[in-house]
Structures are given as structure tokens and as C-alpha cells.
Chains A and B, each alone.
Chain A
Amino acid sequence: MKKGSLKRVFLIFFVIEIVLLIISGGLTKDLEIGFEKSKFVVRHVEKHGDLQEKITEEFQPDEYLLETGERGKIHGSERIYDFFAKVFGKAHAISAFMLLRMLLIVNFIIILIAVLTKKLLFDRPSKPQVLFEMMYSFFEEFVQDTLGKNFIHFTPYIFTIFLFIWVCNMIGLVPIPGFMEPTRNLNVPMGIGIICILVVHATSIKVKGIWGHFKNYLNPIENPLFLLDIVGEVSKVVSISFRLFGNVLGGAIIMLVVSSLVKFIMFPVGLNLFFGIFVGTIQAFVFTMLALTYIGVEIGE
């Protein structure tokens, strides 16, 4: 790539960022795009400047709306909101709605990646194919180092977890109101953590047999501390999911506090670089590595 074109790309991104910033809430106003009574509307919503209230509203919509009873901002279709309000109740509907929409966007991106790497060519590989083959082979090597050659079929599972969490963490970089990382909601990391631990136990049963696996937890004579082992399995889920959740939430709150210090005029680029890209990538990698290590500990003996 030529030097000039790279500079031009950066300039275009900068301009797009400024335009998004101006229309998306730099001036204590929030842009609301959506459907109202089967009519497409774009309007500004006044925001209050109290940081405490804003944090409560952004991060715990359920509690805040339960207390105040007002209807939150919905960027999307009203009919789906009414469906959620019927199923979950009014206050929980908003967070469920936001979470589901974000997860749909993440899934869309992953499907896009799959479409991009659909045509696999051996002679002249396309650019996305080269990129994702590099990432895949990195993870394949990693799985082979940890579990051995017999368990190399875990690579797609591990790679999928990494890609999902990574895309989830990267969503927070998009400066559009209503965009949040799905991993900021505790339900998502907890769900992935439970799946990881279930896979660990299923693999252990497959390798060691049913009694070979459960004698660790059900035999008080051989293992007097079997209760601690059971608690340890639960704490694995808690530790692996709270780590991801706390990192993403802490980064988001720090960014919000800094943006409120400059009255939402500037976009904290450096903080996004660290808490968005760096911490997001590292935490996604740590999550997959721990999921892999748990499997390795169970089948290693």
C-alpha cells in the first residue's frame, strides 16, 4: 500500500468520527433514530448532565427504570419492544432488547467473515483468506501445544469463542448511541463460561469414562475434600466470566467518566485504544486460553 493512500484512509476515518460525534451526542443531545407508529423518525433527545444518573441509566437500565418508571430510549422497532415488554416486563425489556440487537450485529459480522472466507483458493488466496488462515493456524498450534495432537479437533471451537468475544469487545469502538459491548452485560460472559465448563466435563467423561470422571467428586474416602472440588467447579465459571465482564465494564465506565470531564466534546481516542482494542483483545485471548487450559487439566492425567 502506498503511503499517501494510508494517510487518506486515516483522514476519512477522522472526518467520519467527527461527523458521528457531532450528530450522536457531543452537545448533551442524543440522536434517536427509529420507528414511531410505523413512521421513520430522527429527533434529538435532551440529556441531563448528571454523571451518576447517566452511569446508572447506561449500565443498569433495569434498576433505573424500575425506580423512575419512565420509558427508556429505544433505537429500533416498537413492535419488537412491545413483544419483549410482554415477555419480560417493561423494565427488563429495554436491556434485553439492546443486548439482543447487539448480539444480532455481532452475529452479522461473524456471518460476514464466513462469507468473506467462503471461496477458498489454493493457488491465489484472497486477502481475508490469508488473514484468517494465519489466525487459525496460530490457534491450531496453540491447541496442539496445550492438548496434544489427538485433540486438535478443538481448534474450531476455541477459535469461535475467541472470534465471538473479540468482535463483542470491538463493538464498543463504534461511536453511535445505543451501541454497547454485549460482554458488558453479565449474562453473555456467564453463558459462554457455563458452555466452556460443560465442554470440559463432557470431554473428561468422553476420555476417562463416567465413573473415572465422577469418582473425583463422589468418593469421600479417596478424596476427602470433594466438596471443595465441587465448589471449585462453580467458582471456575464465576471467575472466568467476571474477569471479562469487569474488564469491559471498568473500561467503559472510565471512558464515560473522562468524556464527562470534557463535557462530551472530545472522543477519548487514547483510552479507546487501550481499553477498547488492547484490553479487549487480551481478555478475549485470556478467556480462550483459560477454557483450553481447563480442558487440558482434566484430560492431562
Chain B
Amino acid sequence: MAMAEAIARAAALLGAGICMGMGALGPGIGEGFVAGKACEGIARSPENASLITRTMLVGQAVSESTGIYSLVIALLLIFST
């Protein structure tokens, strides 16, 4: 393998790692925040628990998508260079 190719490959792998690490930060914090708020809501009104859980899951799945985008980009970096 030529030197330039090796450098590009190493940079792509490093970039994929950094991308996944940084991209997992935001959704992690956000989903934890949503789960905490849902806990508060269930504690306040236990009769709405199923509705709150459903809404929480859907909201988490939507806010998870930024992490998923970073996963897709990391995969592109790994497999396409």
C-alpha cells in the first residue's frame, strides 16, 4: 500500500471513531433527559403511564436519529475509503 493511501485510510478510521464518539454524546444526553422527565410524569400521574411511555419511546426514537446519522457516516468512512 502506498504511503498516501495508508495515511488516508488511517485518517478515515480515526475520523470514524471520533464521529461515532461525538455523535453518541448528544442522543445519550437527550434520551436520558427524556426518560427522566417521563419518570417524573409517571410519578405525578400514574394513571397516564402507558401514554407517557409510548410518547417517550417515540420521542427517543426520533431524537436517536442524529446518532444514527453519525453511525451511517462512520460506516461510509470505514468501508468506502
Q: Which residues in A have some Cβ–Cβ distance to B below 8 Å? A: 55-56, 59-60, 63, 239, 242-243, 245-247, 249-250, 253, 282-283, 285-286, 289-290
Contact = CB atoms under 8 A, between A and B. Distances in A.
Contacts, number: 39
9 contacts: A63-B80, A239-B65, A242-B72, A246-B65, A249-B72, A250-B68, A283-B61, A285-B58, A286-B62
B61 to A, nearest CB: 5
Given A56-B79, A60-B79, A63-B80, A246 B69 contact: yes
A22 B69 CA distance: 36
A246 B80 contact: no
B57 interface: yes
A249 B79 CA distance: 14
Contact of A247 (B57, B58, B68, B80): B68
Contacts of A286: 58, 61-62
Q: A interface, by DSSP: helix, strand, loop or mixed?
A: helix
Given A282-B61, A286-B61, A289-B58, A246 B72 contact: yes
A245 B72 contact: yes
B37 to A, nearest CB: 19
Contacts of B62: 243, 286, 290
A290 B71 CA distance: 21
A68 to B, nearest CB: 14
B75 interface: yes
B79 A243 contact: no
